[in-house]
A and B are shown apart, each in its own frame.
Chain A
Amino acid sequence: MNRFAELLDRLVLTPSRNGKLTLLTDYFRAVEDPDRGLALAAITGDLHIAAVKPAMLRMLVTERMDPVLFGYSYDYVGDLAETVSLVWPQTPGNLPNREPTLGEVVARLQAASRSDGPKVLAGLLDSAGTSARFAIIKLVTGGLRIGVSARLAKQALADFGKVEVAEIEELWHGLSPPYTALFAWLEGKAEKPRNTALALFRPVMLSNPLSEGDLEKLDPADYAAEWKWDGIRVQAVAEGGIRRLYSRTGDDVSGAFPDLADAMHFSATLDGELLVGDPRQATGTFSDLQQRLNRKTVTPKMQQQYPAFMRCYDLLQVGGEDLRALSFRERRGRLEAFVGTLDPSRFDISPFVDFTDWQTLEELRRVPPHPIIEGVMLKRWDSAYVAGRPKGPWFKWKRDPHTVDAVLMYAQRGHGKRSSFYSDYTFGVWTGAEGEEELVPVGKAYFGFTDAELKQIDKYVRDNTIERFGPVRSVRADRDNGLVLEVAFEGLNRSTRHKSGVAMRFPRISRLRWDKPANEADRIETLQALLDR
């Protein structure tokens, strides 16, 4: 249990992706079955343990210690799980010779009935040390919140076994904790597990961004062009009565889109974009789509107001026949025939963009016909469907980003290599009547600048600090003083969480405007105009 507890503690404080991968692969190497597989399941959210409510936890602890002292402690720490793990009374004579393993903890928790759950939990807490107690409480209260996605965990498995992450993704939905066969394969001790489950995820094919000079080397006749839709890339798989919608990283998102899942009356694997609206009439905007995102449950009203549909790009498999090795041209032909048989309110095809030369396409790309289009996709007519991001067959050619001139307001110290630099910037634009203008924060960015520019901004922050709050500095920013940053972003959403009412998508610093006076930075109205387009 201690090794798992230590892993959680390290992961939560390690900001860098590579650092997290090292911690995970080392853990998989050092820890035996079934503990490592259970840890993996806990991280990917596939470990199912009956939850214990916070009120129960509080009751258990105040039965064991003075409620006033517990109150002081909780006030100070602020987190219930952590407080309980720290104050839980230790009776030295009572400790077993060794702490329980993760496997033992999970087995006891899973075997506990609803009524004896609290007693079992208390027994486990009695037998564990401080760190292990914290991990146990996290397991039973649900949600580890350690900043590790299922995707990253799968990448760590791939690194551990020196295989492609696509292989892990393809296997994943046929496996279950504690993944003994998977680890045996990754360690070279057994054959790759055979997947016999139905409606599995097939690793998706991704594109590369078109870079400077790429077009000159490409022949327009070799490529088809489609609009690039800014929804959610999904894979719809139906087989033997099982219907699943997967995200592009293989997470099962069917639960959030029951309306679309219900319409999957077929036996095939489709690749496409999930959007909202009715494809025969109007496609919803990104703000509309947002209404359906990140929800565990979805009301009938929501499904009616923002119905989900799929705009299909590709057909990977139909009735047991694997089409992935065919050319894009052939697959597209099959796709058109196939989608024609489906419910037209739930499925349509992403239309081609007609062009003969790159110049024409460039002009079309600049003025897309719908706000949810973020550019064009180029696909070689002869390309097979390959997992991952091969260079050459598919390109994405994005619309130019929006930019805004904003004023630097706060700077926060970075992590790791950047721990001595103020590298995370909050910036704002002007609002308010003439003569009473003030800055309102509109976003935060921590990349887009060179190392040399980072040094310059860092110096500026240190020289113009007006207040400090821990790792954050408030920087002088008024009508006469301030650093103007040109910020590039992909789009703007309405936000009720931010004072400015807007939230930027993918903001980054595109240019430092040392030359521009702060009072000439943009006003909030400039951004609001973008929202309404």
Chain B
Amino acid sequence: MRESAVSYNRLPAAELYPILGIMRPSDLLHPRPEGLYCPPGDFFIDPVRPVNRALITHGHSDHARSGHRSVLATRQTLDIMGLRYGENFAGATQAAQLGETIALNGISVSFHPAGHVLGSAQIAVEHQGTRIVASGDYKRQRDATCAPFEPIQCDVFITEATFGLPVFRHPPDTEEIARLLKSAAQFPERSHLVGAYALGKAQRVMRLLRDAGYDRPLYIHGALAKLSEYYQSQGIDLGQLEPATVESGGKDDFTGAIVVGPPSAFADRWARRFPDPISCFASGWMRIRQRAKQGGVELPLIISDHADWDELTATIRETGAEEIWVTHGREEALVRWCELEGIAARPLHLVGYEDEGD
């Protein structure tokens, strides 16, 4: 079915589903206020409110919330949730092995790497010959801090659209890190403050610095400490990390230093301990100059954990899906692209995800 059909909408007409004895995709998964729901399996994917059973793609707080009765996620995502919310973040937890199929009320569920952050996974849901892949957030750029995305053949592919506009094309991350190192050499009397989200981006930036040969200690904001330690415990070498606290040194000790912290901290009084800092921000949004300018960013680093336009469109093709559901972000452009390509697509209006997060 996946290869042969040529028509515009390759799924059978809606009224044929009951006759053919297969499920309509929307019977298998559809949006509810709590999140994406699977009625026959009675579970939610990345629910934004506490539910009975939640399947979670990755540890970012808008996808992974506390208070569910039971959570199924990868071991690393569960660990990360534990670090963020405390050990009792859910009534019960179950670790999903990547690639292993689990039956939930007769529905087959499997987790596959999404390449977004450590532990991130796409979730494939299959029943009566219909397979839907909820990819969560994903990217295709190589990232030494997590397993690479695996395209999964499916009937319906649910894609994010955070950077779903043709203007978003992320350059190679090594080039961006080279610009940071060049600036650090050009302005040795100043410190470089790199804003990066605490889970994933921060560790990726640190690892990229190490891979580029930077071997001085990296100073980190307290909000990054536990997660970075966890990454190190998972075998991701980030080198020597020092707390960027005043106790660890006076202003002079941060001369020439690279400091990594959550972006919000740099507008805060916390940042005053650094000598004449150059504010850097590692984010896909930095592609747009006005964004950098408004935020007072002097050195934008276009490093994203989300797929850019070319990755989104290439991935849609690779999955072979006949129907695309587009969620959080700029749905209209991606839906338009699918139309031009003759692929059925519609926006999936899920609420509660921050499309700003990168």
Chain A residue numbers with a CB within 8 Å of B337 are: 66, 69
Q: What is the distance, in angstroms, from A146's C-beta to the closest C-beta of chain B?
A: 11
**Are A13's CB and B297's CB within 8 A?**
yes
Which listed segment binds A: B29-37, B91-99, B143-151, B286-294? B286-294
**Are B299's CB and A13's CB within 8 A?**
yes
Any chain B CB within 8 A of the CB of A417?
yes
Interface size class of B (residues with CB under 8 A): 35 or more
Render A8-20 as a binary contact track against B, CB cut-off 8 A, 1 for contact.
0110111100010
Any chain A CB within 8 A of the CB of B3?
no
**Are B296's CB and A413's CB within 8 A?**
yes
B residues 151-191 touching A (CB-CB < 8 Å): 165-169, 171, 179, 183, 186-187
User: 6 interchain pairs (CB within 8 A)?
Assistant: A13-B289, A82-B289, A413-B267, A419-B296, A470-B295, A471-B295
Which listed segment binds B: A70-78, A334-342, A433-441? A70-78
Any chain A CB within 8 A of the CB of B279?
yes
- Per the bound structure, the CA–CA distance linking A113 and B37 in Å amounts to 62
Any chain B CB within 8 A of the CB of A26?
yes
Chain A residue numbers with a CB within 8 Å of B272 are: 420-421
**Are A86's CB and B276's CB within 8 A?**
no
**Are A65's CB and B166's CB within 8 A?**
yes
Identify B279's interface contact among A76, A77, A83, A419, CB under 8 A: A419
> Which A residues are closer than 8 A to B by beta carbons?
6, 9-10, 12-15, 19, 22-23, 26, 65-66, 68-70, 72-73, 76-79, 82-83, 86-87, 90, 130, 413, 415-417, 419-421, 470-471
Chain B residue numbers with a CB within 8 Å of A19 are: 187, 278, 298
**Are A417's CB and B276's CB within 8 A?**
yes
| CB nearest neighbor in A for B276 | A417
Q: Which 4 pairs from chain A and chain B are nearest by CB?
A: A86-B167, A420-B271, A87-B166, A72-B333
Chain B residue numbers with a CB within 8 Å of A26 are: 186
Q: What is the distance, in angstroms, from B260's C-beta to the closest C-beta of chain A?
A: 16
Contacts A12-B293, A13-B293; A69 near B333 (Cβ below 8 A): yes
Chain B residue numbers with a CB within 8 Å of A65 are: 166
| CB nearest neighbor in B for A15 | B298
**Are B186's CB and A419's CB within 8 A?**
no
Any chain A CB within 8 A of the CB of B332?
yes
Chain A residue numbers with a CB within 8 Å of B270 are: 420
| CB nearest neighbor in B for A9 | B289
- Per the bound structure, the CA–CA distance linking A87 and B332 in Å amounts to 16
**Are B167's CB and A73's CB within 8 A?**
yes
Chain B residue numbers with a CB within 8 Å of A83 are: 167
Q: What is the distance, in angstroms, from A155's C-beta to the closest C-beta of chain B?
A: 17
**Are A66's CB and B296's CB within 8 A?**
no
**Are B288's CB and A69's CB within 8 A?**
no
Contacts A77-B288, A82-B288, A471-B267; A14 near B166 (Cβ below 8 A): no
Any chain A CB within 8 A of the CB of B336?
yes
Any chain A CB within 8 A of the CB of B266?
yes
**Are B277's CB and A86's CB within 8 A?**
no
Any chain A CB within 8 A of the CB of B87?
no
Q: What is the distance, in angstroms, from A8's C-beta to the closest C-beta of chain B?
A: 10
| CB nearest neighbor in A for B289 | A82
Given A9-B289, A19-B298, A69-B337, 5 more pairs with CB closer than 8 A: A76-B330, A83-B167, A420-B271, A470-B295, A471-B267
